Structure 1
Amino acid sequence: MDVLVVGDANPDLVLRGDVRPRFGQAEQLLTGADLVLGGSAAITAAGCARLGLSTTLLTALGDDVFGAITRQRLEERGVALLLARTAPEIPTGLSVILTPDDDDRSILTLPGTIPALRPEDVTDEHLAATRHVHVASLYLQPGLAAGLAGVFARARAAGVTTSLDTNWDPAERWDSIEDILAHTDVFLPNANELRAVTGEQDVDRAAAKLVARGTTVVMKNGAAGARAWGPDGESSAPGRTVEVADTTGAGDSFNAGFLAGRLAGLPVAEAIRWAAAAGSLSTRAAGGTAAQATRADLEA
């Protein structure tokens, strides 16, 4: 395989319209609802496969209807599955995404099987069979996080490149990940995550702190596109103007665009152009995967 993605997979129930709850048994009418593939790792994997990469997702799913939906959606998108063993009573995770008309959003997540992955689930055989390992939603998976530095160290020893997207920490503790970043080739945060992980408010200082330790930082910058800092200096890329339907998973599609570019041999400055375009294009439809870019889209 080209990419082994490790992390969360679950359905996302995306609700739009009058979604701010009013308690007291008040009934509210929505303008839209979609049940789509969710989980940062799953959306990234789907994006990689859409871009022509041979992609496998290592995740944990329950033996229930949400697990069945998730498996079906991944298979439809050409993603191979490796499933970690979980206790039969643990349900598949679920996220409910509330999207009001002002383009803000709130996410409610049932963890379920999401935290079930462990470092030992990523075997040496898996690493020997891939070119790159990408890990997502670190703060939703404390068991995996506790030993991820060792996983990435094994990957590097096997000649496999690595990338990490922590996503947001729901507890907002932002436990230190310095030991993991010491073995991470590319860190893929958004601006707020970069600030939180480093404790620096200025993104340039935050990135410089990580680059000094050997990690290339590729920052998602919303509609502005992307910025990157690495051993070869700094670069940036614009976003694309599109009619936005839903921003869910845009950062994960960004990840897929970047990985596709790098694995195609592009320098970071060009790969972030692919990433910014992939993230922008993914917002054209509800959910994280319905409008993901193709290789032809990015090459154009």
Structure 2
Amino acid sequence: MDVLVVGDANPDLVLRGDVRPRFGQAEQLLTGADLVLGGSAAITAAGCARLGLTTALLTAIGDDVFGDITRERLTERGVTLIQPRTATGRPTGLSVILTPPGDDRAILTLPGTIPTLLPEDVTDEHLAATRHLHVASLYLQPQLAAGLAGVFERARARGVGTSLDTNWDPAEKWESFADILAHTDVFLPNANELRAVTGEPDVEVAAAGLVAAGTTVVMKNGAAGARAWWPGGEAGAPGRAVEVVDTTGAGDSFNAGFLAGRLAGLPVIEAIRWAAAAGSLSTRAAGGTAAQATRDELD
């Protein structure tokens, strides 16, 4: 396979309209609701498959209705699902995404099976069968995070590329993962995550510190597009003007665009243009996967 994605997969219930809760048993009317494929890893995997990469997703899903929905959605999108085990007794994770008018949103997540993935679930056989390993939602998976440095070290020893998207830390502790970054080829945060991870308010300074240690930093910056820093260079790429319906999963589609570009042999400066376009185009419909870019659209 081209890409093995490791991490979270779950349904997203996306609610739009008057979504700011008013307690006291007040009933509020919505303008829209969609039950779609969610989880940073799952959306990235779907985006990679949509762009023509042979893609597998290693994830823990429960034996319940939400697990059935997740499996069905991944199969529809051409992603090969690898389950190390069924997390008996735990429900599949679920996220409820509240999207009011404007460009803000709130996310409520039930972790469920998400934290049960272990480092040893990523076997040498899996690494031998892929060109690139991408891991998502680090802070939702503490057991995986504890041994991920070793997983990435094994991957690199086999010539497998590595990339990481931590996503947001719900606890906002932003514990250090310098040992993982030491074996990470590409780090894919957004601007706020880059600041939080490094403790440095200036993204240029934050990125410079990581690049000095050998990691390429590719930063998502919303409608402004993207910026990348790598040993010997830096560049930016604009977002694309689209009619935004929902920004859920845009950063994960961005990841898929970047990985597709790099695995196609593009230099970083061209790959981030693909990434910025893929992230922008994904906002045209509700949920993270319904409007993901095709290869023709990026070309």
TM-score grouping bracket, smaller chain normalisation: over 0.9
Partner of residue 50, structure 1: 50
Deviations 1:86-123, CA, capped at 9 Å, x for gaps: 44110000000000113211000000000010000000
Partner of residue 245, structure 1: 245
Partner of residue 254, structure 2: 254
CA distance in 1, matches of 2:230, 2:274: 17
CA distance in 1, matches of 2:83, 2:68: 13
Partner of residue 99, structure 1: 99
Q: Which amino acid aligns with 1:288?
A: G
Secondary structure of the residue that 1:133 maps to in structure 2? strand
Partner of residue 3, structure 2: 3
1:86/1:116 contact within 8 Å kept = no
CA distance in 1, matches of 2:242, 2:101: 17
Residue pairs, 1:48-127, within 5 angstroms: 48-127=48-127
Partner of residue 229, structure 1: 229
In the superposition, the TM-score normalised over structure 1's length comes to 0.99
Secondary structure of the residue that 2:175 maps to in structure 1? coil
In the superposition, the TM-score normalised over structure 2's length comes to 0.99
CA distance in 2, matches of 1:132, 1:72: 24
1:5/1:56 contact within 8 Å kept = yes
Partner of residue 192, structure 1: 192
Residue 10 (structure 2) pairs with residue 14 (structure 1): no
Q: Which amino acid aligns with 1:108?
A: L
1:16/1:98 contact within 8 Å kept = yes
Post-superposition offset of 1:78? 0.0
CA distance in 1, matches of 2:7, 2:44: 10
Secondary structure of the residue that 1:193 maps to in structure 2? helix
Deviations 1:211-267, CA, capped at 9 Å, x for gaps: 000000000011011000001311110100000000000000000000000000000
CA distance in 1, matches of 2:242, 2:150: 41
Equivalences, count: 299
Q: Which amino acid aligns with 1:165?
A: D
CA distance in 2, matches of 1:119, 1:199: 27
Partner of residue 142, structure 2: 142
Partner of residue 296, structure 1: 296
Secondary structure of the residue that 2:296 maps to in structure 1? helix
CA distance in 2, matches of 1:166, 1:188: 8
CA distance in 2, matches of 1:161, 1:198: 23
Secondary structure of the residue that 1:92 maps to in structure 2? coil
CA distance in 2, matches of 1:258, 1:55: 14
Post-superposition offset of 1:70? 0.3
Secondary structure of the residue that 2:252 maps to in structure 1? helix
CA distance in 2, matches of 1:117, 1:185: 22
Partner of residue 168, structure 1: 168
Q: Which amino acid aligns with 2:205?
A: R
**RMSD after superposition:** 0.5
Q: Which amino acid aligns with 1:294?
A: T
Post-superposition offset of 1:84? 2.2
Q: Which amino acid aligns with 2:207?
A: A
CA distance in 1, matches of 2:209, 2:23: 46
The 10-residue stretch of structure 1 (13-22 or 86-95) with the greater mean CA deviation from structure 2: 86-95
Secondary structure of the residue that 1:147 maps to in structure 2? helix
